[in-house]
Chains A and B, each alone.
Chain A
Amino acid sequence: MNKTAVSTKDYTHVKKAPFITITKRDATSLKRNILVRVIAIIAALVVSSVITLLITGENPIRLFSTVIDGAFGQFRIWGTAQSVAMLLGIALALTPAFKMKFWNTGGEGQVLIGALASALVMMTASSLPHWLACILVVLAGICAGAIWGIIPAVFKAYWKTNETLFTLMMNYVAIQLIKFFLKVADKSGSSTVGPSLLQYGRLPVIFEQQYMLNIIVVAVLTAMMYIYLRTSKHGYEIAVVGESENTAKYIGINVKKVIIRTMALSGALCGLIGVLLVGATSYSIDPNLAAGNGFTAIMVSWLAKFNPIIMIFTTLLIVVLSRGAENVSMTLGLNKSFSDILTGIILFFIIGCEFFINYKIHFNIAKKESKEVEFNGNN
């Protein structure tokens, strides 16, 4: 016994094992999954309240009540619901592409181009009956979004053009096209084209609640996307292409077709959100219509591990935090960029915590010492 103890000691002199080794976990329990995330969110909230405290000297309890009030206060709850619906809608739209490992960073542009197409119809469809104009508004937006998605997909499928960078650039093309539209459509030089010009084919208001249509559409979309990805043949093909293109080829999946079809769907759904933003919400268009949600949605979808049901919660988390932080900066008289800082910090924590879900950390020295103690004990 004594001999073995000595020999292990000798080996440690020859070759030092690294202090920390990291291995991938096979599967993680749901409990652990939730626990790590909850800890991360709490840690993020602690850090952000400490920072707010340092900057403002405000009592943290009051801070959190301001956050809650900002998201769920009497006059703000519908606004929160609308924000959730729009962000969730875009996240859902991006999800099939992400599952295919196609990094569609062009959600913003696809939403905007959809909105632009609907706005064009809403401006010009004066002679059509209202129902037909409505259909045209929706179709135009969906088609425009789909085209914006198909363009990078075709190049990715045939020439492996880097899709992250391609779709990213397409955002700015869309933004400039909208700026161009504003200059041409509105001679007054205003920075938005407002309700006075976008008169025709406005989508109907349901239950006398401005945002109800959006919320219902996105709710249906969530359920359909869940079913589509889980149970349909398309969903299966997307998952296989995402895991390994070679495997997909071997089992006879037409990879090019899947890439293009999925991006058409992704772009079309983004376009649909654009339609809702212009045709059912504000009846106006400007380059900031999507308000960066095309980018935020990437994080929302990724945080939910591309699961549409979990996405409801991640969207809620982001929206509540950012609207809450907005309220904090408003009541404390801070500049509204403060909410971006808090959102950023919280995202860093949630992004970082994935590591502790997926990987296991071993501290080697602690183990070795305990082993030696064991040997000595036996002796």
Chain B
Amino acid sequence: MAIIEQIVELIVRAIMQGTPLLFGSTGEILTEKSGNLNLGIPGIMYIGAISGVIGGFFYQNSTSKVITVLAIIIPLLSSLAGSLLASLIYGFLTITLRANQNVTGLALTTFGVGLGNFFGGSLIKITNSDTPFLALSKISAAYRTTLPFANNLGIFGQLFFSYGFMVYLAVVIALAVSFILKRTRIGLQLRAVGESPATADAAGINVNKYKYFATCIGGMIAGLGGLYYILDYSKGIWANDAFGDRGWLAIAIVIFAIWRPNISILGSYLFGGLYILFNYVSVSMNLLPLMQMLPYVVTIIVLVIVSMRKKRENQPPASLGTNYFREER
């Protein structure tokens, strides 16, 4: 029985670890499908997190009685606004000004991580606390509300109903993006833009509009990953650099999932599990870094296999990383 309990706990924790990765990778897939390789996603996730935290912080400090609905909506909206602005910076530079995508993305990551840590640090200072972190316990409680009957259902309830709403939101968004990309006209046109913008343009599709929307919506989805990590996973505690390299891991999952958000659900939970597996397997602490290396190695292997098999539907979007300029055809 103890083993089953441990396995259930591992799965539950893997799902919780995987959720920020799922938000991040879904957002990045949507962005990459338009041909934009946004390496700024790690930065955007920091910005999404800190914007939500700032919103929550001011709400929690402004009232004595925190209303659950507002406690959820205010950080959510401020997080979305923050990631939208960050994505617009990237979009404006790469789409309108046609700047190099890699350089812009990396600059955005520098900027975003700096912004997160700076304002996180400043809020910690405002609260005059002795601890080097910031706790939004009331806001977090709202985010961590689970379904009331979750505890009565035993293992089943623990596996499926023991999470805050954002875990389900991540899955719903991933499935929705998957559906839109595969089954709708908008998705078809978006994929056309990512594969061959010149062809899409000739077919009368507004390339820039699609690129802007995909980049901004993708960025907003990714930003939610940062928000989830702070307000749900780490119980509303902001500590500088705590989010770590999860943004890069999300980009890795995009490859692992061969640009499909529905596979990304499994990929995220798998990578999330690998991230915490060391808690459950009795290996010496020395081997811990090697285990944390696994997600990256697996990603490289997938990348290589996909490129070797040359199956057309598994390839990265053909125009990934390049900008479109009509006059240059």
Contact = CB atoms under 8 A, between A and B. Distances in A.
Chain B at the A interface: mostly helix, strand, loop or mixed? Answer: helix
Contacts of A298: 102-103, 106
A170 B300 contact: yes
A359 B325 CA distance: 11
B266 interface: no
B165 interface: no
B308 A344 contact: no
Given A162-B303, A179-B289, A355-B97, A340 B255 contact: no
Q: Which of B108, B118, B321 has the most CB of A within 10 A?
A: B118
Given A295-B106, A351-B103, A341 B299 contact: no
A296 B114 CA distance: 14
Nearest to A322: B110
Interface in A287-316: 292, 295-296, 298-299, 302-303
Contacts of B240: 335, 337
A162 B307 contact: yes
B300 A180 contact: no
B171 interface: no
Contacts of A180: 286-287, 289-290, 293
A347 interface: yes
Interface string B288-329: 111011001101100110011010000010001100010110
Interface of A is mostly: helix
Given A183-B285, A337-B121, A354-B99, A299 B114 contact: no
A347 B110 contact: yes
Contacts of B110: 292, 295-296, 340, 343-344, 347
Contacts of B107: 299, 344, 347-348, 351
A314 to B, nearest CB: 12
A105 interface: yes
B106 A341 contact: no
Contacts of A338: 114, 118
A123 B107 CA distance: 36
B257 interface: no
Interface string A178-191: 01100110000000
A296 to B, nearest CB: 8
Contacts of B100: 302, 351
A168 interface: yes
Nearest to B118: A337
A57 to B, nearest CB: 14
Contact of B307 (A161, A170, A292): A161
B326 to A, nearest CB: 9
B113 A337 contact: yes
Given A160-B307, A340-B117, A24 B325 contact: yes
B188 to A, nearest CB: 23
Given A172-B248, A341-B115, A344-B111, A166 B103 contact: no
Interface string B232-259: 0000000010000100100110010000
A285 B55 CA distance: 40
Contacts of B116: 337
Given A105-B102, A340-B114, A176 B327 contact: no
Interface string A346-360: 011001101100110
B77 interface: no
Contacts of A105: 39, 102, 106
B215 to A, nearest CB: 15
B240 to A, nearest CB: 7
B263 interface: no
A262 interface: no
A165 B101 CA distance: 13
Given A166-B300, A298-B103, A172 B251 contact: no
A170 B308 CA distance: 19
A334 interface: yes
Given A299-B107, A340-B117, A348 B93 contact: yes
A226 interface: no
Nearest to B322: A101
A241 to B, nearest CB: 17
A327 to B, nearest CB: 16
Interface in A18-65: 22-24
Contacts of B125: 335
Contact of B290 (A176, A296, A340): A176
Contacts of A103: 102, 321
B297 A183 contact: no
B98 interface: yes
B121 A335 contact: yes
Closest 6 CB pairs of A and B: A340-B114, A344-B111, A335-B121, A179-B289, A176-B293, A337-B117
Interface of A: 22-24, 103, 105, 155, 159-162, 164-166, 168-170, 172-173, 176-177, 179-180, 183-184, 292, 295-296, 298-299, 302-303, 334-335, 337-341, 343-345, 347-348, 351-352, 354-355, 358-359
Given A169-B296, A169-B300, A172-B248, 4 more contacts: A169-B299, A298-B103, A337-B117, A344-B111
26 contacts: A22-B327, A155-B304, A159-B308, A161-B303, A162-B303, A164-B102, A165-B303, A166-B303, A169-B252, A169-B300, A172-B245, A177-B289, A180-B290, A183-B289, A302-B100, A335-B240, A337-B118, A337-B240, A340-B115, A340-B117, A341-B111, A341-B114, A344-B112, A351-B103, A352-B93, A359-B98
